[in-house]
Structures are given as C-alpha cells and as structure tokens.
C-alpha cells in the first residue's frame, strides 16, 4: 500500500523503535525510498535521539554524587546509633 | 541488543547477590548497588520537579527510602525498575507538597486523541551528531527544548530516550499503560523534532540561505 507522508509521520516513533508491524515497515521503507522530506524527518528525529542519549547533553550537577553518598552514609550511621 | 541483554542479565545476578549481602548485614554495599543508577535517579526526579535543588533532594530521599525498604524488594522485578518507581513517587510527592501538580485527568484527555503533529519538513539534513555535540549551545538548546515539553511528555521522553528504559519499565515506573507510553513518546519526539530541526539546520552552515523561508512550517 502506498502511504502518505502523514501516515509515515504517525508511525515514525514506532519505526525508530522497530516496533512497527512488518507490513507497515515495508510500506514505510518503500515510501522513504522516494520521499526526501520523510527521510529527512526520520534522520533529524534519529539525530535528536542520539544527541539526547549522549551523557554530555544532560549532565549531573556538580557534587551530586558526593551529596547522594554522604546522605546515605548518614543514614547507615544513624542506624548504627539506634542499635547502640 | 544481545550484548546489552547479556550485560543486563549479568547485572541482575550481581545485584541479587549484592542485595542478599546487604540484607545479611554488609550494608555499606548499598553504595555500590546504587552507583550505576545515580544518573537515572537525578534525571527522573528532574523530569518531574524541574529544578536542580529539588531533584537533588528527591534522589537522596529515594536512595534512603530504597535502603530502608530493601527487604521488600522482590527479585522477580528488576532492581532498576523498583528504584525508578521510588524516585518517581518521591518527586511526585514533592510536587504535590509544593502544590504544583497538574491534574492527571486533563492529561489523559489529551492522550485519547490520535497524533496529528506535523514535523518540521526538511529535505536535507547534514548535521552529524558527534560533530553537533561539540557545540555547547546545541546541547543547551536541546536541554531547553526538553525542559519546555509538557510534563507528561517530558517524563516519558526522559525515561525512554535519555535513560533508554524499555516501554514496559517506563509504563510501570510512571503507573500508566504501555500504549500511553508509546503515544506520549511519539508526541514528545515529534515536538522536539519540530522545535529543534530548524534550529540545528540554521546553525549547520551558511550554505543555502533563504531555503528556510520556503519551508512549509505549519
């Protein structure tokens, strides 16, 4: 079946996640072969996801890990105190 | 995918062993148990409370809470899923306390509509992610765009695409069904594509000036 661009966009997220049914996947791929706009939409979305998953994009605040483990150390220590 | 699965299985076994040792008295090992999840704890909390100080505090509260309740953790679930559920709950409680919670009922009605988002339509895309990432301002733009997503979309996007959790675990952590996760993720990605694609391209180089003015943005 020949899909419209709108149909392709509606499935783009599932297509990226490879969770689209096989027949729809084939239709999408046939469409992508000749549609530059949909190919670019797909590429740009994928690229945004690559950027998102890169640890440099969303960094933790300075000292976060230290504060977290300090708090845990206190918790473990207070338990000891209670036992005494 | 297979490698990740194997790593996951190994991690699961190591964790089960660590948990057993912590419960039998080697409690200092709890530091090791949570170390791989520091990023997940912070980003999940941040996606809900939306400020650094509160997210920091939520992550700490979640860790303490997880430690105190570790005996209740059942080995049939993944430790990571259990932990993310705890931090989601801590963050939501904090939001409620601050009286900033949005009404869930309104969120659900949005979800029932089928996606009609029109993406930014480009005919070329030259940006290469590894090169793009060298640009600090691009990372900041992406952070802002994600922060600007409506709450329900940002939360799903954070778990699925920042932390690369699967659909089932994301659904369990947020207390929604898998279909809602898929719909919200699709919307979030399309919103980001629409807001970011033109920006990325505009900054990619001086060639083809004027091309953008002819794009059918809707």
User: Tokens 């807001």 sit at which residue?
Assistant: B195
| Pairs of CB atoms within 8 A across A/B | 133
Residue of chain B with shortest Cα separation from A19: B182
**Structure-block tokens of residue A4:** 């419209």
- Touching check for A13 and chain B: CB below 8 Å? yes
pLDDT in tens, B144-163: 999 999 999 999 999 999 99
CA distance A75 to chain B (A): 7
pLDDT exceeds 60 at position B124: no
Cα torsion B119, B122, B127, B130: sign: positive
Q: Residue A41: name the closest of B138, B124, B153, B182 by CA.
A: B124
Residue A33 sits at φ, ψ, to 5 deg, of -60, -30
Residue of B59, B114, B129 with shortest CB distance to A68: B59
Band of the pLDDT at A16, cuts 50, 70, 90?
A: very high
Locus of tokens 């922060």: B147
| Assigned token pair, A37 | 């706009």
Residues B32, B152: Cα–Cα separation, whole Å: 32
Residue A72 DSSP class: H
- Whether B125 has its CB under 8 Å from any CB of chain A: the answer is yes
Residue listed under structure tokens 């809900």? B48
- Report the complex ipTM: 0.88
Contact state of B133 with A51 under an 8 Å Cβ cutoff: yes
| Top-confidence residue, B213 or B95 | B95
CA–CA gap between residue B152 and residue B154 (Å, rounded) = 6
Shortest Cα distance from B159 to chain A (angstroms)?
11
- Rounded CA separation A76/B63 (Å): 11
Reported pTM = 0.79
Residue A78 has a pLDDT of: 80
Query: What integer best gives the mean pLDDT of chain B?
Result: 80
Number of neighbours of residue B49 by Cβ within 10 angstroms: 22
């Amino acid at each position: 079946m020949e899909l419209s661009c709108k149909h392709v966009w509606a499935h783009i997220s599932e297509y990226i996640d490879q969770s689209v049914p096989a027949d729809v996947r084939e239709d999408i791929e046939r469409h992508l072969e000749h549609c530059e706009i949909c190919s670019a939409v797909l590429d740009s979305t994928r690229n945004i996801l690559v950027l998102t998953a890169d640890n440099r994009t969303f960094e933790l605040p300075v000292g976060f890990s230290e504060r977290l483990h300090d708090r845990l150390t206190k918790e473990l220590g207070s338990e000891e105190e209670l036992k005494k | 995918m297979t490698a990740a699965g194997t790593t996951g299985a190994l991690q699961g076994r190591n964790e089960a062993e660590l948990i057993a040792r912590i419960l039998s008295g080697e409690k200092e090992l709890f530091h090791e148990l949570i170390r791989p999840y520091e990023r997940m704890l912070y980003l999940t909390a941040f996606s809900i409370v939306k400020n650094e100080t509160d997210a920091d505090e939520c992550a700490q509260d979640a860790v303490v809470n997880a430690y105190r309740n570790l005996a209740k953790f059942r080995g049939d679930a993944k430790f990571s899923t259990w932990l993310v559920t705890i931090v989601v709950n801590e963050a939501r409680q904090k939001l409620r306390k601050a009286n900033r919670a949005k009404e869930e009922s309104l969120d659900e009605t949005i979800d029932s509509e089928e996606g009609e988002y029109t993406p930014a339509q480009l005919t070329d895309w030259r940006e290469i992610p590894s090169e793009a990432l060298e640009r600090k301002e691009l990372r900041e733009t992406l952070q802002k765009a994600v922060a600007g997503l409506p709450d329900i979309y940002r939360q799903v996007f954070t778990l699925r695409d920042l932390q690369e959790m699967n659909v089932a675990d994301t659904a369990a952590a947020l207390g929604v069904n898998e279909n809602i996760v898929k719909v919200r993720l699709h919307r979030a990605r399309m919103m980001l594509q629409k807001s970011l694609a033109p920006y990325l391209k505009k900054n990619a180089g001086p060639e083809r000036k004027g091309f953008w003015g002819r794009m059918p943005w809707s």
